[in-house]
Structure 1
Amino acid sequence: MSEQPSAGTVSPSGPLAGLTVFDLTRVLAGPTCVQMLADLGAEVIKIEKPGSGDDTRGFAPPALPGTEQSAYFAGANRNKRSVTLDIAKPEGQKLARALIAKSDILVENFKVGTLPRYGLGYNDLRADNPGLIYCSITGFGQTGPYASRPGYDSLIQAMGGIMSLTGVPDGQPMKVGVPVADLFAGLYGAIGVLAALRHREITGQGQHIDIGMLDTHVAWLANQGMNYLATGKNPPRLGNEHPNIVPYQVFATEDGHIVLSIGNDPTFARFCNAFGLEHLLADERFATNAARVANRAFVTDTLTAVLARHPSAWWLERLEELKIGCGPINTLEQVFADPHVIARGNLIEMTRSDGVPVKLVANPVRLSETPVDYRLAPPMLGEHTDEVLTNMLGLDEPARAALRRDGII
């Protein structure tokens, strides 16, 4: 596990160092976008509702050991300064506009039309800050017949088609086990922001980025989306099998399960020759991948009997020697104990301002010259309100006390 700077070491580095993000996001899609920007060096001011904060602060148990902070919140909110500010009140809106005027990027995931009611829409802000990059992440985008609807990950997975593709053939449609619709929307949002920064570098002009979760979901249907467009037929649910390649799936072994991934005909021939299955190569049902796909059930049944003859470790050792794609089906305990995962630094530890160490999943982007920068552990609610309002707006203690008394911060 990689050790990282404590929460007190906050000087940013990375390719986005020197840029400020005004973060009006909560839950997962928006915070994922902003955490990516923060990891790349941007300074982030996370605006949270006084008293409650980001919804995911309440998504516990589980909480991080030694804290009351939900694991869910911690996973998408490192490298951010938490400022409590009630933007539903005029004085809160005034402070928000003052902070935005000093920011390069604004990311928000409110329902369509909410922020313009507070005077914080893109058109409200662009005149005073023409270089502002304003990224909106919503369920269905800013236009279209569904624009006013709320967006939730499972709802988008259902409407976006992935549930029709996921699960066993005779079972229920199945969502993916992590909130992929939220995560992809956040990552596409970060890509949009980076593109807009490049445009601003050239022209000085900011712009509005419109990210719809359903849009991004349709985009990552990838080969399955293309399979439908090519045939006009909805691809069937295949459980753990691949729609275009056979064998490329889970197989039961003598003592468990493994994944066998044979991506082309030469590899299949190597597999057959290594394990006494040369006779299959003379069978036209096995001769090519197209034939194996057409005879999926027969090929699967044949190989199921073969894989069941030996334990998982026996298969994995021999398949790896042959450079044939294979792998164990790990629990998360096994994932985080995996020597390769450890060697790549995929688990980090940061120290909160109260001295409590917390384990976090690392950013996977590896940059040779401007590496990801871990500066701030996931913040406690309102932890940086005084610091930000003092340093950015020059508000003294009496002014901040008055704002607290009125419930603005």
Structure 2
Amino acid sequence: MKPLEGLKIVTVEHFAAGPYGSMLLADLGATVIKVENVKTGGDPARRLGPHFLGDNDSLVFQGWNTCKQSLALDLKDPDDRRAFESVVRTADAVMNNLRGDQPGRIGLDYASLRHLNPKLVCLHISAYGRNNSRAAWPGYDYLMQAEAGLMHLTGDPSADPTRFGVSIIDFMTGTLGVTGLLAGVLKARTSGEGSDVDVSLFDVALHQLGYVGTWYLNEGIESNRVPRGSHMSVSPVQTFTSADGWLYVMCMTEQFWRLMLEKLGRQDLAEDPRFVDQNLRSRHRDELTPILDREFARQTTKHWLKVFEGTLPIAPIYTVKEALDNPFVQEVEMISAVPHSSRPDMRLLASPLRFNGQRPRQRAGSAFGADNAGLLRAEARPVNG
């Protein structure tokens, strides 16, 4: 099932946030036409190594661009601009993830494009937004993690400030961006009027502070990193050592706390005055941790997973290899075969969405400029440069 079939998106994008968001739409059946700069060889992610797929393509690029078409143009060239507008005329939305000052300059905003289609929705994914003192600033995911306080909250208190292991702000911004795009399209279909939709990496990063931000805004509480990847206020919710590795345990409720103690044979801890309720356990986390470490260290990770299976929220702490080789990943079909002309056995992470129990099928993203002839009229100028 491809629920977005019939939706047409034209996107001027590169690297991660925009491509990740538009890929979600493409995998769900939307026609996503990726406009790439003919002068520079297209999206720089095509040349982002170290693992390449023939000429001007890479595993990084394919991981963010499945099911998309490629249209190679120079938007500053009058003929190519006319070709671009001919494609936009029948689109539902145009999106970009350029610097905040660029969409207005090169005519990618609603004011510039509404004459082509008054229902058009224009999504702008930028670093800091389009209408403020930082509109012209370049910016990337890790900078946002730094300035929004996320690096200050990540890692062990004794360690340096630490970023997330992946570009989570890029992916969150892309996801929220296309959520706004779809909302705009729905509104345009009933009102007949399109719009600009804006989302920035900075805003999304700050929004991820969640309750930590709410605590500060209302109580002046300045949260800091806590040891063992612990929850800020609930305990025990943290890592523990097993005989051969690490576990993450989440006793988010009193029921889970007492279940864990029963299975560990340590019901005595429920009566310990330091640990009798959630607030006290959080306050005495440093005393509780070594006690539970000793208990979990008596057996292997596999043993504890079996003991608590389906009853206590618990997970092994895996390497990337272990995570992707996990049999459960195969069971839920989160890895899909996506043949590529240079790599027939290419595998990618599948769409996390299911419709009627099925994940949308994926195909490799088009080669640079491969769809020019099909997308443009016969008299359109061929790819040059």
TM-score interval for Structure 1 and Structure 2 normalised by the shorter chain: over 0.9
Aligned to 1:290: 279
2:234 corresponds to: 245
Does structure 1 residue 300 correspond to structure 2 residue 281?
no
1:26 aligned residue (14, 17, 20) = 14
Deviations 1:319-365 (A, max 9, x none): 226x1111111222222222221121110112235673421111111
- The Cα offsets for residues 295-337 of structure 1, whole Å up to 9 and x where unpaired, read as 111111221222222222222221226x111111122222222
Q: Deviations over 1:44-85 (max 9, x none)?
A: 111111252101111100235x78632211111011011111
User: What does residue 395 of structure 1 align with?
Assistant: 378
Task: Specify whether residues 242 and 355 from structure 1 end up closer, same or farther in structure 2 by C-alpha distance, changes over 3 A only.
Answer: closer
C-alpha separation in 2, matches of 1:320 and 1:224: 31
Q: Partner amino acid for 2:232?
A: P
Contact residue 93 and residue 119 of structure 1 kept, 8 A: no
| 1:7 alignment counterpart | none
What corresponds to 2:62 in structure 1? 74
1:339 and 1:17 map into 2 onto residues whose CA distance is: 32
User: Which structure 1 segments of 5+ residues have no match?
Assistant: 1-12
Deviation digits for residues 139-169 of structure 1, max 9, x if unmatched?
1112222222112011011111111100110
Q: 1:367: which partner in 2? A: 355
The range that moved more, 372-381 or 23-32, is: 372-381
Name structure 2 gaps, 5 residues minimum. Answer: none
Instruction: Give the Cα–Cα distance (whole angstroms) in 1 for the partners of residues 343 and 136 of structure 2.
Output: 43
Number of aligned positions between the proteins: 383
Q: C-alpha separation between the residues in 2 aligned to 1:27 and 1:146?
A: 20
**Could you say which structure has the greater relative contact order, defined with CA pairs below 8 angstroms and 6 or more residues apart?**
1
Does the 8 Å contact 1:165/1:235 carry over to 2? yes
User: Matches of 1:230 and 1:316 in 2, distance apart?
Assistant: 39
Gap change, CA 1:55 and 1:223, over 3 Å in 2 = same
Give 3-state SS (helix, strand or coil) of 1:320's partner: coil
Q: TM-score, normalised by structure 2?
A: 0.93
1:358 lines up with 2:341 in the alignment: no
Paired with 1:236 and 1:120, the residues of 2 have a C-alpha distance of: 41
**1:3 matched to which residue of 2?**
none
For the 8 Å contact 2:152–2:161, the answer to whether it is kept is: yes
Aligned partners of 1:28, 1:119: CA distance in 2, in Å?
22
Aligned to 2:89: 101
For 2:145, what is the secondary structure of its paired residue?
helix
Residues 93 and 120 in structure 1, CA contact (< 8 A), matched pair in contact too: no
Asked if residue 320 in structure 1 is aligned to residue 301 in structure 2, the reply is no
| Of 249, 265, 270, the match for 2:254 | 265
Q: Following superposition of structure 1 onto structure 2, how do residues 187-206 of structure 1 map, counting pairs within 5 Å?
A: 187-206=175-194
Deviation larger for 118-127 or 20-29: 118-127
Structure 2: distance between partners of 1:120 and 1:168 = 44
Shift in Å at residue 255 of structure 1? Answer: 1.7
Aligned to 1:236: 224
- Give, in whole Å, the separation in 1 of the partners of 2:378 and 2:79: 14
| CA distance in 2: counterparts of 1:272 and 1:376, whole angstroms | 49
Distance 1:145 1:219, change over 3 A: same
1:161-240 matches, cutoff 5 A: 161-239=149-227, 240=229
1:382 aligns with 2:369: yes
Is the Cα contact below 8 Å between 1:162 and 1:221 reproduced in 2? yes
1:311 aligns to 2:300 (yes or no): yes
Q: Is the 8 A contact 1:79 1:374 kept in 2?
A: no
The answer to whether the Cα contact below 8 Å between 2:351 and 2:360 also exists between their aligned partners in 1 is no
Q: Given the alignment, which residue of 100, 114, 126 partners 1:138?
A: 126
Superposition deviation, residue 179 in structure 1:
0.3
**Which one-letter code corresponds to 2:237 in the other structure?**
Y
Task: State the 1:188 CA deviation.
Answer: 0.3
Question: Aligned with 2:338: secondary structure?
Answer: strand
Cα distance in 2 for partners of 1:124, 1:67 equals 35
CA distance in 1, matches of 2:22, 2:315: 33
- Find the residue that maps to 1:306 and give its secondary structure: helix
Does the Cα contact within 8 Å between 1:67 and 1:356 map onto a contact in 2?
Answer: no
Partner SS, residue 259 of structure 2 = helix
Correspondence for 1:338 among 311, 322, 326: 326
Q: Which amino acid aligns with 1:329?
A: I
Query: What is the identity, as a one-letter code, of the residue corresponding to 1:257?
Result: W
Alpha-carbon separation, structure 1, partners of 2:359 and 2:308: 35
Corresponding letter in the other structure for 1:162 = L
Alignment deviations for residues 237-275 of structure 1 (CA, whole Å, 9 cap, x no partner): 014111121111111112211111111112211221232
Deviation per CA, 1:217-245: give whole Å up to 9, x if none.
12222232233334312211014111121
TM-score by length of 1: 0.88
Identity rate, percent: 30
Q: State the superposition RMSD in angstroms.
A: 2.0
8 Å contact kept, 1:254–1:309 = yes
